[in-house]
């Protein structure tokens, strides 16, 4: 039997925020991403995209650290408004109320940051996610962040889990694997259940 998911569209996500069904929200940057960001060179001013950014604590952290080319994309208005409330000076032109899969590829990104976006998608879109990340990055650009490892649920609503072997298949056609291992510094409820990935787009 095949599971048929409802559309996880803008209305669905906006309603989850408004209803407070947002248990993924960590209310601050998580240690794995903070540690990763802390070793980036701000002088290079990389062009960074955070898709499915939600309330975007990562964007706030990077912005306050002096990164000026940080873009956030989300289908739902509520979380982007929450970012603006916390960081009123965040550039408005960098707030993309948009479908990740429709983002233009005219100016490539150096870095895409993943946190609880991949697991929020209908699993049928995972291959398209890997392809779209590759399409948005410059050759040699990086996709870095966290993927849930193991099953979550059961349920017919996000988040959805998966396995390391499954994930490898999606990314291998487009990326070299620099790092792909259990994160050592996850927040407690996620400890041992998330992979830190650092994938380099093939030249």
Ligand X SMILES: C[S@@+](CC[C@H](N)C(=O)[O-])C[C@H]1O[C@@H](n2cnc3c(N)ncnc32)[C@H](O)[C@@H]1O
Using CB under 6 A, count the residues that bind ligand X: 22
| Min dist. Cβ of residue 43 to ligand X (A) | 27
Among 59, 62, 72, 75, binds ligand X (CB under 6 A): 75
Question: Which residue has the CB atom at the shortest distance from ligand X?
Answer: 54
Give the binding range for ligand X (CB under 6 A) out of 98-106, 132-140, 167-175, 191-199.
98-106
74 is an interface residue for ligand X by CB under 6 A: yes
Q: How far is CA 92 from CA 38, 80, 87, 89, 103, in A?
A: 24, 10, 11, 8, 16
Which is closer to ligand X, CB of 158 or CB of 162? 158
CA distance 54 to 50: 9
Question: Which residues, numbered 119-148, are part of the site for ligand X (CB under 6 A)?
Answer: 120
Which is closer to ligand X, CB of 124 or CB of 165? 124
Asked, as a colleague might, if the bond just before 154 is cis with ω within 30 of 0, I would say yes
| Min dist. Cβ of residue 129 to ligand X (A) | 9
Half-sphere exposure of 122 (CA within 13 A, CB side): 12
3-state secondary structure of 134: helix
Among 61, 67, 71, 117, binds ligand X (CB under 6 A): 117
| CA-closest candidate to residue 178, choices 203, 192, 196 | 196
| CA-closest candidate to residue 133, choices 123, 145, 122 | 145
Write out the residues near ligand X by the rule CB under 6 A: 8, 13, 24-25, 51-55, 73-76, 79, 99-101, 115-117, 120, 158
């Amino acid at each position: 039997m095949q599971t048929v998911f409802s559309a996880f569209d803008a209305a669905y996500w906006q309603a989850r925020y408004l209803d407070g069904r947002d248990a993924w929200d960590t209310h601050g940057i998580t240690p794995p991403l903070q540690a990763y960001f802390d070793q980036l060179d701000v002088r290079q001013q990389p062009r960074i995209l955070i898709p499915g950014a939600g309330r975007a604590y990562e964007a706030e952290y990077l912005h306050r650290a002096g990164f000026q080319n940080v873009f956030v994309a989300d289908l739902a208005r509520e979380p982007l408004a929450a970012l603006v409330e916390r960081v009123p000076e965040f550039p408005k032109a960098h707030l993309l109320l948009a479908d990740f899969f429709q983002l233009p590829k005219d100016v490539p990104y150096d870095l895409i940051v993943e946190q609880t976006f991949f697991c929020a998608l209908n699993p049928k879109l995972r291959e398209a996610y890997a392809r779209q990340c590759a399409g948005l990055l410059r050759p040699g650009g990086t996709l870095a962040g966290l993927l849930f490892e193991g099953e979550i649920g059961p349920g017919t609503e996000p988040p959805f889990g998966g396995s390391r072997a499954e994930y490898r298949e999606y990314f291998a056609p487009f990326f070299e694997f620099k790092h792909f291992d259990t994160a050592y510094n996850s927040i407690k409820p996620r400890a041992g259940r998330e992979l830190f990935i650092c994938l380099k787009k093939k030249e």
